[in-house]
Amino acid sequence: MIEAERGRISTVAISTALGPSGRGIFPYTLLPAYRRLLRVVRETGTAIFTKSATRFKRIGNFIAWNPLTWKYIRRLPDLGMLNAYGLTNQGVEACAREIKVAVDQGFRVIPNLYPEFAKGTELAIKDTLEALEIYRQILGPDFWALELNYSCPNSEEAIRENVAQGLKCSREVKGKFPDLFLIAKISICHPCEFAQELEKLGVDALHAINTIPYEILYPQKRSPLWRVGGGGVSGGPALAAALSYNTRLRKRVSLPLIMGCGVKNREDVQRYLDVGADAVSLCTLALRNPGEAAEIIVGFNG
């Protein structure tokens, strides 16, 4: 568990799998086990990281109402998933209003925002600061923490650029919103030095790691989603690499770490706690086996 001045993050947190508001994703909400998960999450005060919002509405690859785009989210063996969702969302204003409804219903929601660095660093930071102002106006005191999604592409050059952009963005956010509990969500592509620099400039916690780019996990194979960049692997197939990255990371930074990627059962949660996680996140499990996700939450947060 992470205790901060203005709020707390439960030992087990749900990441992305409850949608842009934290109240659940249609059509999963039709499943009784997923509805029970929502109930358990609310009753136990479990922390929810939302699906990423962007400053403005964005159409990515996956669009829920278009079956031709469903191929961008696939199942893999061992309770895994491969996705190239592509950040489809309604923009921060609409997402913040939905989060407000969730918070008023008793869900503990932490917004996740994706700074669109591809637009250029300055514009992306300007958009990010505007987005934060919108969260603050709509959520009021319930906007105590924010997760910034810095998970990056995986060419050397792109990583270098993304690191510089992430540091600049974090510095400006901390400067303008010093009371906000700022969480940076990082990728297996990031060197530990990135995490250390984030710690130095005052980021409050790290969330490691996001999905693993397909070609990093399977360098010999071509991703079935190669046309859209390869996609990211989550769930069981990602656990070993994610656990090893987090074990190394723990030795390099001392700020709170939300570890995750690959959790399939309570033993996996315990593995992350044993290597020094302050909290553990799960996403794919909540979609592939919501019953097990609910049991884990009752066990650790109940």
Q: Which is nearer to ligand FMN, 51 or 250 (CB)?
A: 51
Please identify which residue in 44, 211, 223, 246 interacts with ligand FMN, judged by CB under 6 A. Answer: 211
Is the separation of the CB atoms in 225 and 84 below 8 Å? yes
- Tell me if 170 sits within 8 A of 206, measured CB to CB: no
- CA-derived radius of gyration, the chain: 17
Least distance (Å) from ligand FMN to the CB of residue 85?
A: 4
CB of 297 to ligand FMN, least distance (A): 13
Residue number with CB closer to ligand FMN (148 or 167): 148
Segment near ligand FMN (CB under 6 A), from 126-134, 233-241, 271-279, 294-302? 233-241
Under rule CB under 6 A, residue 260 binds ligand FMN:
yes
Q: What residues from 61 to 120 belong to the interface with ligand FMN (CB under 6 A)?
A: 73, 81, 83, 85, 87, 112
C-alpha–C-alpha distance, residues 45 and 54, integer Å: 26
Q: Which stretch binds ligand FMN (CB under 6 A): 97-105, 137-145, 267-275, 282-290?
A: 282-290
**Is residue 282 a contact point for ligand FMN (CB under 6 A)?**
yes
Task: List the Cα angle 72/67/221 in 5-degree steps.
Answer: 25
Report 2-41 residues binding ligand FMN (CB under 6 A).
15-16
- Give min distance, CB of 198 to ligand FMN, in A: 16
For ligand FMN, the closer CB: 10 or 16: 16
Q: Is 238 in the site for ligand FMN (CB under 6 A)?
A: yes
| Residue 210 binding ligand FMN, by CB under 6 A | yes
Nearest approach in angstroms of CB 225 to ligand FMN is 12
Residue 234 touches ligand FMN, criterion: CB under 6 A: yes
Q: What is the DSSP letter of 267?
A: H
Contact residue for ligand FMN among 235, 246, 258, 297 (CB under 6 A): 235
Question: Across the chain, which distance is largest between two alpha carbons, in Å?
Answer: 49
DSSP 127-193: HHHHHHHHHHHHHGGG--EEEEE-----SHHHHHHHHHHHHHHHHHHHHH-TTSEEEEEE-TTS-HH
- By CB neighbour count within 10 A (0-12 exposed, 13-18 middle, 19+ buried), where does 140 fall? exposed
- Other beta carbons within 10 Å of 273: 16
Query: What is the tally of helices (H) and strands (E) in the chain?
Result: 10, 15
Residues 6+ apart with CB under 8 A from 177: 132, 136, 146
Query: How many of the chain's residues bind ligand FMN (CB under 6 A)?
Result: 25
- What is the binding site for ligand FMN (CB under 6 A)? 15-16, 51-52, 73, 81, 83, 85, 87, 112, 149, 185, 210-211, 234-235, 238, 260-263, 282-285
